[in-house]
Amino acid sequence: MKAEGRVVLDGERRASENMALDEALLISLKEGSPPTLRLYGWSPSAVSIGYFQRVEDEVDLERARELGIDVVRRITGGGAVYHDREGEVTYSVVLPLDFPGLPREPLSIYRFIGQGLVNAFGEMGLSATLQGVNDVAVGGRKISGSALVLRPWGILQHGTILISVDPDRMFSVLKVPEEKLRDKIVKNVKKRVTSLRDQGFEGGRGDVVDALLQGFSEALSARFAPGKPTPGEMEIARSLEVNKYGREEWLFRGGRR
Amino acid sequence: MEGKSGSSEEVVVETVYKVEGGKSIRPRLVLKSGKISSVRIYGDFFFYPEEELMALEEALLGAGVGEVCERVKRFFTERKITLLGATPQDFTEAILKAING
């Protein structure tokens, strides 16, 4: 007996809108919204930082402004991520706590949902493994990273799937701990990170989206019916965008301080 | 940042502490007369529940360098915290690294 869910085949949104909508879908689980998978992109390209990070440490804000790259803080932990408009597909999944098979411990949840990603890469002809806490790797090189937040009623996990990666562009806005180490760090990233194109996958965004839908359906034993956010969910998202994600206080350590 | 001379010397210290496997802990502390007067622990780790990280920072207030290890240990023993990408010992080491330079 498969669980029933909704898949939102979303387009591109601004960074603050994307984070607001992810949280709105999480909150809406409380009001009876179904388990939801959302597949989306970022326009313009953006950087998202983890909940516990200090934006000045991680992002060259001046450079981001010059390049028209959005910067947003997530409610999930983890690191600073560069979301290229063309270079990645992002997923988010919200599940109620009583979703069949959903574990309780964060690490187990990463494994449970991560299996969906491993399956998806398999659909695309690549052999992937779970790596570390929250990454998926092909040939030992990171191709996807995720972050998870738990609430008393459910969970939100979101993450990226790299179609192509340009470390030079990434580090034009992400800070490095020491400027003199920049070249070494960029070279290191090129070794430790890979992408679908790097692995010889020639399919388009649509193929990636199809593979993710297939992969998550299998891993979660669910049937995801295509749907859209409801007007109520969009209203929550708009409110979060205005009052939280679009605000300087939230970005500059306003979140929990 | 320079401290004032006399009995209340205030120093701001921070560091980047790399955990094996790639995550980083970045403590920023204000020390007053050798005791922690404020502390923020930044980083790309995962800490559940999130609010408890603020409680850990509060638990460190007033600690001298010799008390950090005990306070961190006690904090994690007394509460149900899930920490991913780092261990409580990493937090202690990161804070001591910031203090000791």
What chain B residue is nearest to A257 in terms of C-alpha separation?
Answer: B54
Would you call A106 and B23 a contact, using CB atoms and an 8 Å cutoff? no
pLDDT greater than 80 at residue A58: yes
**What is the three-class DSSP state of A89?**
strand
pLDDT digits (tens, 9 = 90+) for B53-98: 999 999 999 999 999 999 999 999 999 999 999 999 999 999 999 9
Q: Render pLDDT for A198-216 as a digit per residue (tens, 0 to 9).
A: 999 999 999 999 999 999 9
**pLDDT exceeds 70 at position B6:** no
Question: Is B8 a residue whose pLDDT tops 80?
Answer: no
Q: Cα(A200)–Cα(A118) distance, rounded to whole angstroms?
A: 17
pLDDT > 80? residue B5: no
| Residue A237 confidence class, pLDDT cut points 50, 70, 90 | very high
Least confident stretch, A154-163, B1-10, B38-47 = B1-10
CATH architecture, domain defined by A3-251: 2-Layer Sandwich (3.30)
Q: Do B22 and A150 touch (CB under 8 A)?
A: no
**Residue-averaged pLDDT of chain A:** 95
Residue B38's pLDDT band (boundaries 50, 70, 90)?
Answer: very high
Tokens of A232: 């109520």
Confidence category of residue B1, pLDDT binned at 50, 70, 90: very low
CA dihedral in degrees (A95, A99, A101, A106; nearest 10)? 40
For B44, the closest of A50, A148, A177 (CB atoms) is A50
Q: What is the pTM of this model?
A: 0.95
Residue A166 CA to residue A143 CA, distance in Å, equals 13
Please give the structure tokens belonging to residue A195: 């992408």
C-alpha closest to that of B44 among B61, B23, B27, B29: B23
Question: Between chain A and chain B, how many beta carbons pairs sit less than 8 Å apart?
Answer: 59
In this complex, the residue of A57, A132, A256 whose CB is nearest that of residue B21 is: A132
Mutate to test the interface with A, among B28, B46, B48, B54 (most CBs of A within 10 A): B46
Residue A158 predicted with pLDDT over 80: yes
Q: What number is the average pLDDT over the span A127-135? A: 97
Q: What's residue A179's pLDDT?
A: 82
**pLDDT at residue A255 tops 80:** no
Here the ipTM equals 0.94
With bands split at pLDDT 50, 70 and 90, how would you rate the model's confidence at A1? confident
pLDDT at residue A256 greater than cutoff 60? no
Residue of A nearest to B17 (CA): A177
Q: Can you spell out the DSSP letters for B50-85?
A: THHHHHHHHHTTT-BGGGHHHHHHHHHHHS--EEES
Give the model's pLDDT for residue A2. 87
Report the residue of chain B nearest A147, measured CA to CA: B46
First-to-last C-alpha distance (Å) of chain A? 45
| CA trace torsion B44, B50, B52, B57 (10° rounding) | 40
How far apart (Å, rounded) are the C-alpha atoms in residues A30 and B41?
A: 31
Least confident range of B19-23, B31-35, B85-89: B19-23
